[in-house]
Amino acid sequence: MFIPRIAVAATLAVLGVAAPPPHGAFAASSIVTVPARGVGGATLGPAVDVASRSFPAGMRFVVATVTGRHATKSTKRPTMLSVDLVCGDERVQAAVNVVTSATLAPRRIMRDATDCRVIATSARTDATAGDGVQVSTRLTAEAITWGATGYRPHGWPDLVRTGGRFDAVPTTFAVPAHVSRLHVTGDTKVTTCTSVGGSRENGSPYLCEKARLKREGSKVSVSVVVHQLGPDGEICAQRTVSRRTAQIAPKAHHDMISQQASYALSPSSNCTRNVRIKQYVKVLGGADIVVHRRGTMTNVYG
């Protein structure tokens, strides 16, 4: 259920950018309260447009930085916050449980950023009228000349057992001749199997069945790996450009594991300009995890 857009005062500012147009960045910010109590028995609170902005035409890398904290009259219990960044017909999601405060940063390459908005929902079991999350949102966009994404928002999420591994959103693309260095971002949306709730997606059953629940949360490692390919399609150069280890606490339950890095293309004659990038997910200890489809994404641009 959507409620009418909330009018927000937005200020436009040009961020410090060394290069002249078409490279550049623009920003808008707002503060809005997102109620957790559903209407008519709904599990989620109403969807609220918390920020919007029209950026100049052209391909852009858009980021919504959303900081959430408990609403003034809330009961201060952990509250789920889900955020969608939408530009035209393209979107990406991020989610977390707000224990005291939390920051989400959904981001992706947008072909058309002339109509961008950020939509937030929150939820809490047995939510009171005062439960909810107050969010501060900053919306930015950077002009880019080329980009590619690895994103599979449809289908069921993936269950990764303790000690197991999973290759998330592998994508292969050709890098144009004018690009010699790649900017890479990786975002992985995960749920630890400390409770059943929140472990389904896109019509799937709950993947965190009661038999696999553990109280301690999960220790998760995510590596962003770049493979440059040779003429035969085999790997000619390989590099782990970023790795992050995160402890997903029971109260947090949902979390985003985000990182960014760069990769300089190998000039070797054995390599082509074809590149494959993936996020290598491994559960190091604790409970099994669910890797969600909507929110797990790789962006590459130059």
Final residue belonging to a domain, choices 88, 111, 143: 143
Which residues make beta-bridge pairs with 160?
A: 289
- 172 shares its domain with 65: no
- Both structure tokens of 44: 């989620």
How many whole angstroms separate alpha carbon 296 and alpha carbon 120?
18
Final residue belonging to a domain, choices 77, 108, 143: 143
**pLDDT value of residue 206:** 95
Mean pLDDT of the chain: 89
- Both structure tokens of 109: 């390459």
- 139 shares its domain with 209: no
Range of the domain at 23: 13-143
- 181 shares its domain with 139: no
Cα 156 versus chain centre, distance: 17
> 178-222 pLDDT, tens per residue?
999 999 999 999 999 999 988 999 999 999 999 999 999 999 999
- 86 shares its domain with 155: no
204-241 burial: b if 16+ Cβ within 10 Å, else e: eeebbeeeeebeebbbbebbbbbbbbeeeeeebbeeeb
Q: How many domains does the chain have?
A: 2
> 42-66 pLDDT, tens per residue?
889 999 999 999 999 999 999 999 9
CB 65 within 8 A of CB 83: no
Q: Which residues are CB-contacts of 203 (< 8 A; sequence separation ≥ 6)?
A: 156
CA proximity to 148, closest of 54, 293, 273, 55: 273
Q: Is 7 part of any domain? A: no
- 63 shares its domain with 127: yes
Final residue belonging to a domain, choices 143, 168, 203: 143
**pLDDT value of residue 30:** 73
How many whole angstroms separate alpha carbon 216 and alpha carbon 192?
9
**List of the chain residues with pLDDT < 70:** 1-29
- 123 shares its domain with 244: no
CA proximity to 119, closest of 67, 84, 81: 84
How many whole angstroms separate alpha carbon 12 and alpha carbon 198?
36
- 259 shares its domain with 165: yes
- Both structure tokens of 242: 């970023």
- 284 shares its domain with 164: yes
Q: Is 113 part of any domain? A: yes
- 48 shares its domain with 192: no
CB atoms within 10 A of CB 96: 22
Q: Is 2 part of any domain? A: no
What CATH number is associated with residue 208? 2.60.120.660
Q: Is 156 part of any domain? A: yes
Q: Is 3 part of any domain? A: no
**pLDDT value of residue 171:** 94
- 161 shares its domain with 183: yes
CB 136 within 8 A of CB 30: yes
What CATH number is associated with residue 86? 2.60.120
Q: Is 4 part of any domain? A: no
**pLDDT value of residue 28:** 62
Q: Is 277 part of any domain? A: yes
Burial class of residue 129 in the structure, from the number of CB atoms within 10 Å of its CB (0-12 exposed, 13-18 middle, 19+ buried): exposed
**pLDDT value of residue 31:** 86
**pLDDT value of residue 43:** 84
- 118 shares its domain with 154: no
- 172 shares its domain with 48: no
**pLDDT value of residue 6:** 32
Q: Is 130 part of any domain? A: yes
Encoded amino acid at 71, one letter: A
CB 169 within 8 A of CB 152: yes
